[in-house]
Amino acid sequence: MKIGYSFWGFLGNGITDTPDGGRSHRRPLIDALHDRGHEIVFLQANRDLLEAGDNLGGAYTFDSGIPDIDVLFLEWRWPIDGRNTTQCGTPGHTCDLHRQAELIKRYSVACGTPMVIWDKDRQLRPDSPWRRAPRVAICEAALEPTPGAYPLLFPVADRLLAQADPSVLAQQPREITLGYVGNQYVGNRQDRDEHFDRYFSPAASCFDHQVGGKWTDTSRWPHVSFLGRIPFEEAHRLYSGAIATVLLLPKRYAEVGQMTQRIFEAVLAGCLPLAPADIRQVERFVPEALVVRSGSHVIHQLNRLRAIAGTRQHVDLIADCLDRLSLFRLSRQVDALEAVLDTITGATSRQQGAA
């Protein structure tokens, strides 16, 4: 089928000054859908070309109009004050929200085009009428999504899982003990700051570490080494040089078992993920040996991981983490998405009727 795909971000490396985490999984998902015979046309601005000067080899189609499509697929955008809520043409304005509204009006409202909303940031209101609308499916990247929504996790390419060798990763030199890549957002600051205080800050006082990402208010952590925003590809370098990281999730993610792409970015680089115990179904993401319950527990675990670095125990821990990444396997997520597409388009029933 022909899918009109709306996202605000990049398919390539993009630019440094952006929080778009979708770069780690968006392009593999798109390519996998194409490989299964679907046609994809992108309906938002081509930021790869406009901002990063990357034409992506001419491999993808962007359309600023209203092309004919079978399904509208939205990576859900929400109001952000001072950015997409301002008038078009004003300084700092981004038109993602306006364009999304146009797409919904022209396709779903006017034409009844089937629509998938991938609420990757858990910003769609619980009382949103789209949750009850016909031929509309809500997907969430959570193990326990909102009732009525479908799980669609952030995917990791099958080939990357197949190529990862825990023995090689365990022998790789690690210059620092603790690494972290993530941003401090104004809207979620209190939530993330509390987790940072509890799990990361105490360990940062005891071990060499680096934090990559945009943190605008760091005065309460003078002992933490903040690097500022780093290029997308530098995240792999940071994780490759660290023994471990801590998976710090906003509360709205943790309480439904929504894990970000940071887990597979870290594990594929051999960086062991310590996961707070308050993450729902945490045991599906990491082995019990990597579940932490306090800052002092993080310190204890880091001392243990430093002691076993390069040993058989280290290899086995990395292997266990790699095995658990199968939860995010690309082929598995594309199967889940195609099942959703069949449901809202009636493709399955049509195929059965033809048979």
Give the separation between CA 321 and CA 332, rounded to whole angstroms. Answer: 18
Domain CATH code at residue 90: 3.40.50
pLDDT digit string, tens, across residues 279-309: 999 999 999 999 999 999 999 999 999 999 9
* 218 and 92 in a common domain: no
pTM: 0.93
Half-sphere exposure of 180 (CA within 13 A, CB side): 29
What does the DSSP assignment read for 178-214?
Answer: EEEE----TTTHHHHHHHIIIIIHHHHTTS-EEEES-
Are 191 and 171 a contacting pair, CB within 8 Å? no
φ, ψ at 235 (rounded to 5°): -60, -40
Could you report the per-residue pLDDT of 62-104, keeping only the tens digit for each? 999 999 999 999 999 999 898 899 999 899 899 999 999 999 9
Range of the domain at 65: 2-155+329-354
Give the pLDDT confidence of 6-37 residue by residue, as tens digits: 999 999 999 876 767 888 899 999 999 999 99
What is the number of structural domains in the chain? 2
Q: Which single residue is written with the structure tokens 């792409």?
A: 261
Q: Are residues 54 and 178 in the same domain?
A: no
Residues 175 and 320 in one domain: yes
Whether 146 and 196 map to the same domain: the answer is no
Are the C-beta atoms of residues 19 and 54 closer than 8 Å to each other?
Answer: no
CATH number at residue 210: 3.40.50.2000
Same domain for 281 and 196? Answer: yes
Q: Verify that 128 and 201 share a domain, yes or no.
A: no
Instruction: Say if residue 42 is in the same domain as residue 172.
Output: no
Q: Are residues 346 and 278 in the same domain?
A: no
Query: Beta partners for 96?
Result: none
Nearest to 267 by CA among 245, 292, 293: 245
Q: How many CA atoms lie within 13 A of 265 on its CB side?
A: 25
- The Cα–Cα gap between 337 and 330 comes to 10
222 in the same domain as 125: no
